[in-house]
């Protein structure tokens, strides 16, 4: 009995779909981990290539085994271990994996700033993890108890890009400037005003997901910027080809234009196929960011934009650029298809006209050949008849001069015999030639 079979009593079970267990487990694939302030959380996301997921799992297993710990189960999408005074959470996604170190923190002591001590002094456990691919996301999140003291945020963040908001119905405040610090980490400050461990853990995970997915969403922008010049070039060549179509004449010229349009369509299709996943992933990641921002229920802090406002203002142009490139690709593809269809129609019409002219020429040649054939047949009848009559004349002369005819009691008039044989011979030869021609016609 499979693990997802349904027991219904009396030793009976209903056979489950092969994917039922996997679907049920997916709901619990990335559970929230309770967080009790003060905590320091270091989070990293790595992009994976085709074989990166396998190497990532193998490297994590090796790290865990070296510490006497169990590695991730086969097919598991997440794993949680503790060693070196810190908790490590690993998650595997479609094109990236994340490592999150949960470290103890002394909080913010009097006279100190958040994010102390410096992240470089905390990165020893962080440096032990494998690097399965290029680093894309690095976050230093500090979860502290809120106090009435001034945290000197201007000394921690860039005031020009600082976004702050009260979240979870005022039970916490979040702050981030979305800039990398000298160590390369993006700092996120969370001030807990009574969240509780479970709510704090959920908020921390959502904030890490917002930073991770907003970075992944922006990967579509470099792809769009790379494609823009090529698309502009194709648009220009398409306009030139469309203009040339209005003046081109003849099958050769139209075939040349058609070949050019097909080449443009192939070039565009190759670029679109390469960017299809990236643009689709950017849209999906942006949707996740919007859902996470809606979940934390931001309330503005006077004088500062919320995370939603900041990201909308900064990400919207990039996402519109990606959408614009996609739309341009689709429109150009349709225009290329329409232009190619028009040219194919023109080429087909010209080919039909050429075929019609060719058939007309062939028919004319056939008529001429038929006339020549009849002329030749007439000449052939005359020539053959002439030779047959000559033979008859020679035969009559031979019989007359040799006396054989007189011996047989026959009087031959050579001239008369020859004259009589002419029409008979002509009719006979004509009849034979006609039979032969009909026999060939029936065979064909």
Residue-level pLDDT at 173? 93
Whether 384 and 311 map to the same domain: the answer is no
Whether 209 and 301 map to the same domain: the answer is no
Whether 230 and 206 map to the same domain: the answer is no
| 367 domain-assigned | no
- How many domains are contained in the chain? 4
| 313 domain-assigned | yes
Residues whose CB falls within 8 Å of the CB of residue 7, separated by 6 or more in sequence, listed in order:
13
Region of 411 (left: φ > 0; alpha: ψ -120 to 50; beta: rest) is beta
Nearest C-alpha neighbor of 100 from the set 140, 54, 47, 134: 140
Whether 173 and 193 map to the same domain: the answer is yes
| 329 domain-assigned | yes
CA dist 176 and 161 (Å) reads 8
Q: What CA–CA distances, in Å, run from 25 to 13, 20, 22, 77?
A: 20, 9, 5, 10
| 366 domain-assigned | no
Whether 205 and 232 map to the same domain: the answer is no
Whether 176 and 58 map to the same domain: the answer is yes
Whether 322 and 434 map to the same domain: the answer is no
Residue-level pLDDT at 389? 76
Residue after which a domain boundary falls, among 160, 186, 215: 215
Whether 188 and 248 map to the same domain: the answer is no
Residue-level pLDDT at 295? 93
Nearest C-alpha neighbor of 298 from the set 163, 395, 398: 163
| 364 domain-assigned | no
Whether 245 and 316 map to the same domain: the answer is yes
DSSP states along 334-371: HHHHHHHHHHHHHHHHHHHHHHHHHHHHHHHHHHHHHH
| 365 domain-assigned | no
Give the structural domain span for 266: 220-358
Residue-level pLDDT at 55? 87
Q: pLDDT tens digits, the chain, 444 residues: what are they?
A: 455 566 555 666 777 777 766 666 666 666 678 888 899 999 999 999 878 888 888 888 888 888 888 888 887 888 888 877 788 899 988 899 999 999 888 777 766 788 888 887 776 666 777 788 899 999 999 999 887 555 678 888 998 999 999 999 889 999 999 999 988 899 999 999 989 999 999 999 999 999 999 999 999 999 999 988 888 888 888 888 777 777 767 677 777 777 888 888 888 888 888 788 889 999 999 999 999 999 999 999 999 999 999 999 988 999 999 999 889 888 888 888 888 787 777 777 777 777 787 787 888 887 887 777 667 666 677 777 777 778 777 777 777 677 676 666 666 677 777 777 778 777 887 788 777 777 766 655
Whether 264 and 383 map to the same domain: the answer is no
Residue after which a domain boundary falls, among 187, 215, 243: 215
Beta bridge partners of 101: 42, 88
Residue after which a domain boundary falls, among 168, 199, 215: 215
| 135 domain-assigned | yes
Region of 75 (left: φ > 0; alpha: ψ -120 to 50; beta: rest) is left
| 363 domain-assigned | no
Whether 241 and 343 map to the same domain: the answer is yes
Whether 121 and 227 map to the same domain: the answer is no
């Amino acid at each position: 009995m499979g693990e997802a079979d349904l027991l219904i009593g009396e030793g009976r079970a209903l056979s489950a779909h092969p994917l039922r267990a996997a679907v049920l487990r997916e709901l619990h694939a990335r559970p929230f981990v309770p967080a009790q302030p003060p905590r320091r959380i270091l989070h990293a996301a790595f992009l994976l290539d085709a074989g990166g997921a396998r190497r990532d799992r193998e490297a994590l297993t090796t790290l865990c085994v070296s510490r006497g710990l169990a590695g991730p189960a086969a097919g598991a999408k997440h794993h949680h271990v503790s060693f070196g005074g810190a908790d490590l959470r690993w998650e595997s996604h479609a094109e990236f994996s994340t490592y999150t170190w949960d470290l103890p923190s002394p909080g913010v002591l009097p006279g100190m700033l958040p994010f102390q001590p410096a992240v470089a002094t905390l990165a020893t456990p962080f440096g032990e993890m494998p690097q399965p691919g290029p680093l894309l996301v690095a976050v230093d999140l500090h979860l502290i108890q809120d106090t009435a003291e001034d945290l000197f945020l201007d000394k921690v963040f860039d005031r020009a890009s600082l976004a702050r908001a009260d979240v979870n119905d005022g039970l916490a405040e979040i702050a981030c400037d979305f800039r990398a610090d000298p160590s390369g980490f993006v700092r996120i400050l969370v001030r807990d005003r009574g969240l509780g461990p479970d709510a704090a853990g959920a908020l921390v995970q959502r904030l890490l997901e917002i930073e991770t997915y907003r970075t992944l969403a922006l990967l579509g922008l470099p792809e769009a910027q790379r494609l823009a010049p090529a698309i502009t070039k194709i648009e220009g060549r398409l306009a030139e080809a469309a203009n040339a179509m209005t003046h081109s004449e003849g099958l050769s010229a139209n075939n040349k234009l058609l070949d050019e349009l097909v080449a443009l369509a192939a070039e565009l299709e190759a670029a679109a196929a390469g960017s299809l996943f990236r643009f689709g992933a950017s849209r999906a990641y942006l949707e996740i960011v919007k859902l996470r921002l809606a979940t934390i229920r931001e309330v503005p802090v006077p004088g500062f934009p919320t995370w939603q406002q900041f990201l909308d203002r900064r990400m919207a142009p990039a996402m519109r650029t990606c959408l614009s490139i996609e739309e341009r690709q689709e429109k150009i593809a349709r225009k290329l298809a329409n232009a190619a269809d028009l040219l194919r129609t023109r080429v087909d019409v010209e080919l039909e006209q050429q075929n019609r002219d060719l058939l007309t020429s062939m028919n004319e040649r056939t008529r001429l050949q038929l006339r020549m054939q009849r002329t030749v047949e007439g000449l052939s009848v005359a020539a053959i008849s002439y030779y047959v009559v000559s033979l008859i004349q020679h035969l009559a002369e031979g019989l007359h001069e040799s006396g054989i005819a007189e011996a047989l009691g026959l009087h031959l008039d050579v001239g008369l015999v020859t004259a009589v044989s002419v029409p008979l011979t002509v009719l006979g030869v004509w009849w034979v030639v006609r039979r032969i021609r009909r026999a060939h016609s029936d065979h064909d």
